Amino acid sequence: MTDSRNNKGAQGHLHPLTQIVREIVDSFVAMGFEVADGPEVESEHYNFDVLNVPKDHPSRDMQDTFWLKPSEDGSPNHSTSGVGLKGVSQTVLRTHTSSVQARYMETQKPPFKIIVPGKVFRCEATDATHEAQFHQIEGLVVGEGISLSHLQYTLNEFFKRLYGTQATIRFRPSFFPFVEPGVEVDVSCVKCSGKGCGMCKQTGFIEVMGAGMVHPNVLTASGIDPQKYRGFAFGMGVDRLVMLKYGIDDIRYLYSGDLRLVNQF
């Protein structure tokens, strides 16, 4: 669909990240999902504790997570004893959009289906394929009798909307503290449709997201009875999809404010 204003010289350009986020969010909204969001500055409580990430898990280390100085005198807020005061002291830049899960679950009663786009942060040196900031989209469905079959159906529907009716997905074993079972989701290669090519390293599939059944500890921590309800969650990196789709070779261009990138879209 082209808008006529595109034909005028004065038309500006929408950032490719916005475009892909819209495509993805629109697909889920069409399936009845609600868009939700949450803060980028997040408490240790929502980013880690309620997501069943152990107190001493390495992902909480300063090598992986940006910690913030919330007090005026600049005193460190990262205590190794980790007293996770909710939304107050132990403050991080959220490392995933999964932090919105508990925020939503605490205030809403199941059943629900949400999709959460947002910027996230990891403390890692930047290069062509790594940025300290990037975008994720998280999905969460909680209701009675939800199973991995429902997750697979939902993701199949989504990828068919995104990549066309020939797209298929497959699950592989994986591990994330906030889901059990946990799976890695591969989608049939958009370039060769599963036959094998350079883009998919001859495997016919591309790894696109992590997913699984919401861990009962996560439901319990958010006040939802895991005996009654089950849910599934999934999360995907948006930047990589953008880079794959358009053949962008350096992730840093996406956050440089550079029209040499943006004006190609």
Partner 1 sequence: MNIPISYNWLRVHFEKDIPAPNEIATLLTKHLCEVEGMEVRNDDTIFDFKILPDRGHDLLSHHGIAREVSVLSGVPFKKIPTEYQQSFEKTEAILKVSVSDAHLCPRYMGRVIENVGVGESPAWLRARLESVGQRSINNIVDITNFVMLELGQPMHAFDLRKLSGAEIFVRKAHEGEKMMTLDNKDITLTPETLVIADSKQALAIAGVKGGKDAGVEAGTTSIVFESANFNAVSTRKTSQRVGIRTDSSRRYEHGLSPSLTEEAIHLATKLLLEMYPQARVGEIVDVYPEPQQAQTIVITVSDINGILGSTLSPDEVEGIVVRLGFTHTRDGETFTITPPLVRLDLSIKEDIAEEIGRVYGFYKITDAPLPDFAFTARPLKAYYYANLIRDTLVARGFSEVYTSSFQKEGEFAVLNPLAEDKAFLRKNLAMNIEQALELNVRNAPLLGLDEIRIFEIGKAFPGVMEEKLLCAVGIELTKAGKKKDTMTREALEEVRTVIGEVLGVAIEGVFTTNVFELDLGALLDTLPEPKVGAPFVSVGTRYQKISAYPFMLRDIALWVPEGIPNDEVLAIIVHEGGDLLRTKRLFDVFTKEFPEGKRTSYAFNLVFQSYEKTLSDEEINNSMLRITIALRARGWEVR
Should residue 86 be labelled a site residue for partner 1 when binding is judged by CB under 8 A? Answer: no
Query: Quick one: 102 or 211, whose CB is closer to partner 1?
Result: 211
Q: How far is the CB of 202 from partner 1 (least distance, A)?
A: 12
Of residues 7 and 165, the one with the C-beta less far from partner 1: 7
The C-alpha atoms of residue 74 and residue 84 are separated, in whole angstroms, by: 19
From the list 25-33, 44-52, 158-166, 191-199, the region that binds partner 1 by CB under 8 A is 25-33
Decide: is 228 part of the binding site for partner 1 (CB under 8 A).
Answer: no
What span, in angstroms and rounded, lies between the C-alpha atoms of 97 and 102?
Answer: 11
User: Which residue type is seen at 92?
Assistant: V
Q: Please report whether residue 249 would count as binding partner 1 according to CB under 8 A.
A: no
Query: Hey, which residues between 92 and 111 contact partner 1 (CB under 8 A)?
Result: 93, 111
Does residue 126 interact with partner 1 by CB under 8 A?
yes
Does residue 243 belong to the site contacting partner 1 (CB under 8 A)? no
Binding to partner 1 by residue 23, rule CB under 8 A? yes
Q: Using CB under 8 A, which of the segments 26-34, 98-106, 158-166, 187-195 binds partner 1?
A: 26-34
152 contacts 171 by C-beta, under 8 angstroms: yes
Give yes or no for residue 139 binding partner 1 (CB under 8 A): no
Span of 2-10, 98-106, 158-166, 192-200 interacting with partner 1 by CB under 8 A: 2-10
Q: Is residue 119 a contact point for partner 1 (CB under 8 A)?
A: yes
Query: What amino acid occupies position 245?
Result: K
Q: Which contiguous run of DSSP H or E holds residue 178?
A: none
Figure out which of the listed residues 79, 128, 153, 225 binds partner 1, where binding follows CB under 8 A: 153
CA distance 84 to 213: 25
The three-class DSSP label of residue 45 is helix
| C-alpha–C-alpha distance, residues 236 and 39, integer Å | 18
Nearest distance, CB of residue 197 and partner 1, angstroms: 18
Please give the C-alpha separations between residue 78 and each of 21, 44, 66, 110, 181, in angstroms, as whole numbers.
Answer: 33, 9, 10, 34, 31
**Residue 247 touches partner 1, criterion: CB under 8 A:** no
Contacts of 79 (CB under 8 A, 6+ apart): 90
CA nearest neighbour of 236 among 186, 174, 189: 186
